[in-house]
Structure 1
Amino acid sequence: MHLSQQDLFTGLITMAIIGFALLGIELALKNKILNKLFGRKLLHFTAICTCAFAIHRFENRLLLASVFLLFFFILLGVIRNGWMQVNDYRTYGIAFFPLAFAALLFIPFFSDFIIVYAVLILGISDALAGICGEYFGKQKIIFLAENKSWVGFTGFYVSALAVSLFYFNNFSLQGILLCIALALLPAITELFSYRGSDNLTVPLFTGAWALLLIDLSAVQIQTLLLVAILLAVLSAFSMYKKWLTFSGATAACWVALLLFIAGEYKAFIAPGIFLISGSLLSKLNKPQQEKEGRNAKQVFANGITGIIFMILYGIVKEEIYLITAIVSFCISMADSTSSELGFYFKGATFDILSFEKLQPGVSGGISAAGTLAGLAGAMLLAFITSYFYSFSLSVFLCILIAGFAGMLADSILGSWLQIKYKTLDGKLCDDEENGAKKVKGLSWCTNDMVNILSNMLITLLFFYIFKQIH
């Protein structure tokens, strides 16, 4: 790869600034000039904004992406070996941001202009959100895995709005409305962080969001903002009906905003059918009736693969991405219908791999009623979406088969990898109850993780096969 004089100079300046910042902040912390939080956030701001400068100035984009990817692996090794710890617990956040920048640079449809904007949002707004939340956010809420506050969210949104206004330098009514909309999704994204994962998710989804919004007309932006208000009302209703928890409703808003901007109103058909049917079916089972609804982890476990493909559809406008997104939601629909109705009818249930008899409701188990219910659920979603999108019979059958296959894959992974416990009375279960002991599976492989892995596996397989035959 060619390294120009400008690239060499830019690289040296970037490393020098970050190096001096790291040294200066470390000395300030030791001499108690700065506290740990301010020092950490100042380093975050300096390092990431300096990276934005490097992205703006660098000529060889692929070379810079490779450098960021190299730094990701270096930082990953440093953290894993315990040579660097910026929090009281192990976090990979400092390694995630070069990974995000490398991904954005490797993806051709992201312009440098959009990438720099996404990086600045991470560098400025994420740092301010942390400071505001720590010092002024008294009431903390766990949206995914970390304590967050609405004060921190407000700090993120207001600063992201200011960055957007000055970066795009458009103070017309359309420009202001655009910036109001642009700041919304990154601020929500930051709420769902796990040990620094927002350093990866914020720039990636900010870049995708900006790419989808930047060419909208004033009327389209106004419609989007009205839809955002409507989604907030519907989320409140879903909490009232106990379909979703507070974190689940916030996650659903995030998903719905991306669905609408990528695929307009029709994009709500598949996930809408899944959400409503799943919520209604869950009320059939008495243990489920006492629950508050799906939380953010469950929303993302069932929706993240579909939303990524819907975003790709919104960007490249190729139907294969739309069909693949629908397949992902069809898998979730089949799995949810199978689980709820299989548990309700309580027929003979067997482990899909060992064929040992299982208690209904344990992951990895299949029954005749549950299997037929899953097939019916996949057929329902495939039929309705095929009708509204005018898909051919062959596409309908492909969606149906993939949805059913995804349900079976979920059961296979649930039996093979998912962590299982045995209660004191000898019954196998998915959750750690009082006195229950782990007997099989991987500790990190929960039911939500199985949902993600099986959905992603079958969805990607479908995408590859469908692309080959069409």
Structure 2
Amino acid sequence: MTILFYKLFLGFIVGSLIGLFSYITHLLTKSGMIAIVFVATIVCGFGSWFTWGLLILFFCSSGCIHLAKKRINMTNLDTVAEKGHTRDALQVLANSLPAIISLVLFYYTKNQLFLIGYASGIAGATADTWSSEIGILSKSAPRSIISFKPIQPGLSGGVSLLGTIASSLGSLLISVVFWLLYRPDDFSTFPQIFILIVPFICGIFNSLVDSLLGATLQAKYRCSICGQLTENKQHHFHTTQQIGGLSWLTNDWVNFFSGCLTVLFSWIILFYAQQ
């Protein structure tokens, strides 16, 4: 199959516009802007307008939530997190690559399993992002997904009622839009309900796996000045001491592995549904 040049060019142009706007509004760093151009070009080249629409919906909805928080001065709550809200290239790629891999596989195989896998990956990224962005606003302290004890807001591995609701709504948004954008006859292999249910379930699955990995394997540090737990190697301009997790497993890797497991989970569900 030949990838049409005009589709790649269109993805490059639109991705550049989105990236530039996101950079100006401090949603992306320079590297993040370059990464979003790459992602947009690939998705537009290998996908169609509706797969492109899901990606735009993910980035725009997440950006709008951040900008709304910024207007009410609520963006400084998660200072213990490894990175801030301005996403760099690693954050962009970690959230989008698993879904993109599934989309490329669909392009070459035309197996609908991979297309639904792409939607599941985007639903997962949206669910996790909404959970992090909105959950931090909860008035009650989040609780560890492992011990259920209260932990610091913004620290990976924490869950809250508000964050869980936000995660479900983010996954539902992508799933419903995906279901609405495709004609029923496009999915003769699977029951129509699978188009809606599988991405929705996988989106919530992603958020849970992300929290589990964040609570158990992601590197955690303690500040020698204030004693606060953090995901940063430095706090108060001093080197922090690692107290748990794997030193190389950053939040970006957690997001990437969660996305991969989510897409794989959707493949497994659909594979057995075909039997």
Q: TM-score with structure 2 length normalisation?
A: 0.86
| C-alpha distance 292-330 of structure 1, shift in aligned 2 (>3 A) | closer
**How far apart in 2 are the matches of 1:401 and 1:228?**
32
Task: Tell whether the 8 Å contact from 1:212 to 1:261 is kept in structure 2 after alignment.
Answer: no
The answer to whether the 8 Å contact 1:365/1:415 transfers is yes
Contact kept in structure 1, 2:202 and 2:265, CA below 8 Å: no
Q: Specify the code of the residue in structure 2 equivalent to 1:287.
A: N
Asked whether the 8 Å contact 1:238–1:249 carries over to 2, the reply is yes
Match of 1:352 in 2: 145
Matches within 5 A, 1:326-365: 326-365=119-158
**Residue 76 of structure 2 corresponds to which residue in structure 1?**
287
Amino acid at match of 1:453: F
The alpha carbon displacement at 1:237 in A equals 2.0
Runs of 4+ in 1 over 4 A off after TM superposition: 288-292
Tell me how far apart the structure 2 counterparts of residues 389 and 407 of structure 1 sit (CA, whole Å).
25
- Residue 26 of structure 2 aligns to a residue whose secondary structure is coil
- Once the two structures are TM-superposed, the CA of residue 465 in structure 1 deviates from its matched residue by 2.2
Alignment pair present for 1:277 and 2:70: no
CA distance in structure 2 between the aligned counterparts of 1:223 and 1:314, rounded to whole angstroms: 14
Aligned to 1:404: 204
Q: Which residue is equivalent to 1:442?
A: 246
Aligned-pair CA distance for 1:348: 2.5
Cross-structure match for 2:9 = 225
Alpha-carbon distance in 2 for matches of 1:230, 1:358: 40
Deviates more, 1:431-440 or 1:312-321: 431-440
Corresponding residue to 1:452 among 256, 262, 272:
256
For 1:427, give the aligned amino acid.
Q
Residue aligning to 1:429: 230
Partner of 2:189: none
Structure 1 residues 296 and 408, CA, compared in 2 at 3 Å: closer, same or farther? same
The correspondence for 1:420, drawn from 220, 232, 243, is 220
The Cα of 1:288 is off from its aligned counterpart by: 7.6
Q: Match for 1:242 among 26, 29, 32? A: 26
Q: Is the 8 A contact 1:282 1:289 kept in 2?
A: no
Aligned match of 2:48 in 248, 252, 264? 264
Aligned match of 1:469: 273
Q: Which residue of 2 aligns with 1:394?
A: 194
Q: Secondary structure at the match of 1:358?
A: coil
Query: Which amino acid in structure 1 is aligned with residue 66 of structure 2?
Result: S
Q: Determine whether 1:378 maps to 2:162.
A: no
Query: Percent identity among equivalent residues?
Result: 31
Gap change, CA 1:375 and 1:223, over 3 Å in 2: closer
CA distance 1:238–1:212, shift in 2 (3 Å): farther
- Please give the per-residue CA displacement for 1:381-414, whole angstroms capped at 9, x wherever unaligned: 1111111124622321111111101100100000
Deviation sequence 1:215-236 (CA, Å, 0-9, x none): x4xxxx3454344234323322
Letter in 1 for 2:200: L
The 3 A distance-change label for structure 1 pair 355 and 232 is same
- The one-letter amino acid of 1:303's match is S
TM-score (norm 1): 0.51
Q: Deviations over 1:213-266 (max 9, x none)?
A: 2xx4xxxx3454344234323322221122221111111111111111111221
Contact persistence 2:138–2:160 (CA under 8 A): no
Question: 1:311 corresponds to which residue?
Answer: 104
| Aligned residue pair count | 254
Cα displacement (A) at 1:292: 7.2
Q: Cα–Cα, structure 1 residues 302 and 227, in superposed 2: closer, same or farther, change >3 Å? A: closer
Contact 1:302 1:451 in 2 (8 A): yes
- The residue that corresponds to 1:78 in the other structure is none
Give me the whole-angstrom Cα distance separating, in 2, the residues matched to 1:335 and 1:389. 24
Give the number of the structure whose alpha-carbon radius of gyration is greater.
1
RMSD: 2.0
Structure 2: segments with no counterpart, 5+ residues: 185-191
- Structure 1: tracts of 5 or more residues without a match: 1-210
Asked whether the equivalents of residues 345 and 369 of structure 1 are also in contact (C-alpha less than 8 Å), the reply is: yes
- Offset, 1:421: 1.0
